[in-house]
Structure 1
Amino acid sequence: MTETAAERYRELTALATAAGKQVRKHERETAERLGEQVAAGEQRKEESAQVRDELVAEVKQRWTAAMQVVWDERWLRSSGVPAPDRSAPDATPSESRVAVHEAFEALRDAVTKPRLPTDFLPRRRK
């Protein structure tokens, strides 16, 4: 059977049309999947920003509380909240909260403990 040029042309255009439809379908599926991944990434980014903002607020509250603890210690000078320490090891937000809490507790304990035993001081004579 000999094909005419017109039949061969129709066959090739049908193949090209089918291939184009498959490529467009694949591209739509890929775009949809990538769109979902971008949306999920944006959601994670927003959640991370919210966690960061909450952690920064907690640290500022602890700093304020620490400044109240050392208010009577006139020799200790502070110039406000220090900048973040970029050389600190990586930590999760919960690990950071625990570290800040432990540091605050250590500061409070150090400031509030008695400096000298009271029975060591001589009594005043009248």
Structure 2
Amino acid sequence: MTEPSSAADAYREICGLVTDSVERLRERDEQRAQELRGELVAAERRREEAAEREHVTRWTARLRWEAAVEVLWDQRWLRMTPLPRPDRSTPYTDLEACGHEVDAAFEELRSTLQRRGLFRRRQQP
């Protein structure tokens, strides 16, 4: 800031500094807004992907449950129940890993039934 020759010059100089500062703040805010819009788009994409993974995992679990009921159908001693609801008390889990666990559990069930002679293929009429 230079020495103003009058009060009016001092006022103009201060107003110019304030205007420059406001303009720099606006530019910085606009840059930050653009960054946040980009982050928002990325977050929305991740949310959509997670929702799709959840849908696929639930569908896989339902199909495996129905397949398990089918292979156990002849076991009259075993009480069949509907597919249990998801356990919401468990911490966040990797849905892909859950799908693999469901597949592995079903394969273990099928393998156990085959080894023990409990699993018999139904005859097609």
TM over 0.5: yes
Corresponding residue to 1:92 among 87, 91, 94 = 94
Q: In structure 1, how many angstroms separate the alpha carbons of the residues matched to 2:34 and 2:77?
A: 63
Corresponding residue to 1:35 among 29, 34, 37 = 37
Give ranges in structure 1 of 5+ residues lacking alignment.
116-126
Q: Which residue of 1 aligns with 2:72?
A: 70
Q: Percent identity?
A: 34
Q: In structure 2, how many angstroms separate the alpha carbons of the residues matched to 1:24 and 1:7?
A: 26
Indicate the structure whose relative CO is greater, using CA pairs within 8 Å and at least 6 residues apart.
1
Instruction: Give matches, 1:106-117, under 5 Å.
Output: 106-112=108-114, 113-114=116-117
Q: Secondary structure at the match of 2:86?
A: coil
Q: In structure 1, how many angstroms separate the alpha carbons of the residues matched to 2:35 and 2:27?
A: 12
Q: In structure 1, how many angstroms separate the alpha carbons of the residues matched to 2:88 and 2:17?
A: 60
Corresponding residue to 2:62 among 51, 60, 67 = 60
Corresponding residue to 1:81 among 77, 83, 96 = 83
Aligned-pair Cα RMSD in Å: 2.0
Tell me which structure has the larger Cα radius of gyration.
1
Q: Secondary structure at the match of 1:72?
A: coil
Q: Does the C-alpha gap of structure 1 residues 79 and 2 become closer, same or farther in structure 2, counting only changes over 3 Å?
A: closer
Give ranges in structure 2 of 5+ residues lacking alignment.
119-125
CA contact (8 A) 2:4 2:10 kept: no
Number of equivalences: 115
Q: Aligned-pair distance for 1:90? A: 5.6
